[in-house]
């Protein structure tokens, strides 16, 4: 099987590529990535010598880039590529609309033109908005709060429409928050771990009482692997673990693991439009035979250890040094 993973140089895309190359030696995997600030070729250093792996620099919102890659032949596209950080979307939404909406449209048009057999859209629980009690299921309406969530919802609506109108083989997934190795240190967990490792304070928004549901990278990879095998055109799957935590609980866990106290917390102004709680009903995915394998505590310990052992990776990012590295390495590709 030949798969194009878009956004494969980012956090989850690179974790999935490494998982796929390790567990499926008969798959060929193409990483199609624009290398924005979030795309880091170093995430895939270990894959570079693998004959089943290829990197193509390209933009999902540019039809010529997409058609050139798909024209080489492909069975499945998994679309991880997106602008992903809520705070950036509040400051500057344009790139989100371009990549998350126009980019998804461009990919869907190419799937139609080249008759690609399977397209999987990696999306988020944030499209459903906030829920005080109970759980969102796959029929819950979209009520996005941030420009990020709204642009992901736009892309997801297009996926559903292209299935209904053109019968395209599209599957949409809505996942809870990911955490694990290689997450860009602007998101809550890697930002807090790396700040504390540098003896810097950690900014908790508002009172820190918002609730997020968390999934470790490997469990998400296993969910996508299952959906690749068993998903059918038009399917929609929530991906979650039931591991719900208030942000302040996450914060205190990291502090305790690093032997630090709450004086390192700085309570700062709340995020505008901040969703109070995300929570998913995942019965549909579980009925395929998937369930998460890692406890939140175990996943967090592995994550904290990874950041302790890979200081060079995140220090380059925080200092801006890696931007220079990839500009040189990938200028003409
Ligand atoms: P990330 O920000 O770490 O990486 C995004 C990748 O996409 C980068 O490599 C970037 O270079 C690439 N990219 C951006 N614009 C592109 C374009 N126009 N063309 C080609 N490549 C482009 O993202 P992530 O956190 O790994 O998230 C991956 C996917 O999962 C996204 O679609 C996101 O919406 C979704 N998701 C993320 C989470 C989470 O907690 N991070 C939760 C649920 C769903
Ligand atoms: P984040 O990692 O940005 O993911 P998302 O907004 O997609 O859920 O944020 C997770 C939660 O942590 C969210 O409720 C906002 C909060 N948060 C902070 O309190 N401080 C921070 O510095 C960041 C980045 C997030």
Ligand 1 atom closest to Cα of residue 59:
19
Q: Does the beta carbon of 213 sit less than 6 angstroms from any atom of ligand 1?
A: no
Helices 147-166, 104-114: crossing angle, 10 deg rounding: 20
Tokens standing for residue 244: 């719900």
Which of 33, 59, 126, 235 is catalytic? The answer is 126
Helices (H), the chain: 11-23, 63-71, 86-91, 94-96, 104-114, 147-166, 188-197, 217-230, 247-257, 283-286, 296-309, 311-319, 321-330
Q: Is 125 known to be catalytic?
A: yes
Alpha-carbon radius of gyration of the chain: 19
Q: Is 126 known to be catalytic?
A: yes
Q: Does the beta carbon of 36 sit less than 6 angstroms from any atom of ligand 1?
A: yes
* pLDDT at res. 333: 38
Tokens standing for residue 19: 């998982």
Ligand 2 atom closest to Cα of residue 187:
2
* pLDDT at res. 320: 79
Q: Where are the domains of the chain?
A: 2-329
Q: Does the beta carbon of 176 sit less than 6 angstroms from any atom of ligand 2?
A: no
Count of alpha carbons within 13 Å of 196, Cβ hemisphere only?
Answer: 27
Nearest to 2 by CA among 42, 38, 52, 58: 52
Question: If you measure from the C-alpha of residue 172 to the centroid of ligand 1, how many angstroms do you get, rounded to a whole number?
Answer: 15
Ligand 2 atom closest to Cα of residue 205:
19
Tell me: the pLDDT tens digits for 110-128? 999 999 999 999 999 999 9
Taking the C-alpha atoms of residue 187 and residue 210, their distance in angstroms, rounded to an integer, is 15
* pLDDT at res. 289: 97
Residues 6 or more apart in contact with residue 161 via CB below 8 angstroms: none
Burial label for 171, CB within 10 Å (0-12, 13-18, 19+), is buried
- Report phi then psi at 167, rounded to 5: 60, 35
Distances 27 to 68, 78, 253 between C-alpha atoms, Å: 20, 14, 38
Tally of CB atoms within 10 A around 29: 24
* pLDDT at res. 271: 95
Ligand 2 atom closest to Cα of residue 271:
15
Are 119 and 79 within 8 A, CB to CB? yes
Low-confidence ranges of the chain (pLDDT < 50): 330, 332-333
Distance of CA 54 to the CA centre of its chain: 20
Which of 105, 148, 278, 322 is catalytic? The answer is 148
CATH number, span 2-329 = 3.40.50.720
Q: Quick one: DSSP state of residue 66?
A: H
* pLDDT at res. 323: 61
Taking the C-alpha atoms of residue 34 and residue 200, their distance in angstroms, rounded to an integer, is 32
Q: Does the beta carbon of 203 sit less than 6 angstroms from any atom of ligand 2?
A: yes
Are 204 and 248 within 8 A, CB to CB? yes
Q: Does the beta carbon of 89 sit less than 6 angstroms from any atom of ligand 1?
A: no
Question: If you measure from the C-alpha of residue 152 to the centroid of ligand 2, how many angstroms do you get, rounded to a whole number?
Answer: 17
Atom 17 in ligand 2: which residue has the minimum CA distance? 188
Tell me: the pLDDT tens digits for 290-325? 999 999 999 999 999 999 999 999 999 998 766 665
Taking the C-alpha atoms of residue 200 and residue 104, their distance in angstroms, rounded to an integer, is 38
* pLDDT at res. 326: 53
Distances 315 to 46, 190, 268, 307, 311 between C-alpha atoms, Å: 19, 12, 24, 10, 6
């Amino acid at each position: 099987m030949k798969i194009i993973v878009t956004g494969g140089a980012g956090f989850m895309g690179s974790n999935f590529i490494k998982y796929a190359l390790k567990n499926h030696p008969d798959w060929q995997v193409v990483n199609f990535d624009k290398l924005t600030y979030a795309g880091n070729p170093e995430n895939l250093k270990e894959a570079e010598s693998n004959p089943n792996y290829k990197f193509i620099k390209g933009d999902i919102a540019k039809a010529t880039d997409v058609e050139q890659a798909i024209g080489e032949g492909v069975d499945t596209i998994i679309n991880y590529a997106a602008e992903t950080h809520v705070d950036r979307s509040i400051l500057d939404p344009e790139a989100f609309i371009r990549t998350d909406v126009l980019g998804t449209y461009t990919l869907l048009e190419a799937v139609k033109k080249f008759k690609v057999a399977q397209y999987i859209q990696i999306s988020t629980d944030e499209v459903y908005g906030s829920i005080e009690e109970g759980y969102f299921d796959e029929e819950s309406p979209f009520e996005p709060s941030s420009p990020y969530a709204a642009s992901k919802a736009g892309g997801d609506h297009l996926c559903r429409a292209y299935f209904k109108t053109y019968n395209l083989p599209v599957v949409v997934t809505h996942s809870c928050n990911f955490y694990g190795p290689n997450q860009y240190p602007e998101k809550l967990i890697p930002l807090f771990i790396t700040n504390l490792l540098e003896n810097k304070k950690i900014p908790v928004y508002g009172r820190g009482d918002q609730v997020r549901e968390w999934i470790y990278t490997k469990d998400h990879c296993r969910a996508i692997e299952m959906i690749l095998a068993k998903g059918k055109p038009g399917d929609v799957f929530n991906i979650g673990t039931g591991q719900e935590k208030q942000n302040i609980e996450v914060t205190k866990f990291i502090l305790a693991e690093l032997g630090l106290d709450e004086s390192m917390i700085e309570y700062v102004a709340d995020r505008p439009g901040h969703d109070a709680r995300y929570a998913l009903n995942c019965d549909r995915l579980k009925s395929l035979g998937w369930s998460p394998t890692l406890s939140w505590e175990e996943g967090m310990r592995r994550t904290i250890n990874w950041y302790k052992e890979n200081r060079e990776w995140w220090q380059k990012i925080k200092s801006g040094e890696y931007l220079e590295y990839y500009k040189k390495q990938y200028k003409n590709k």
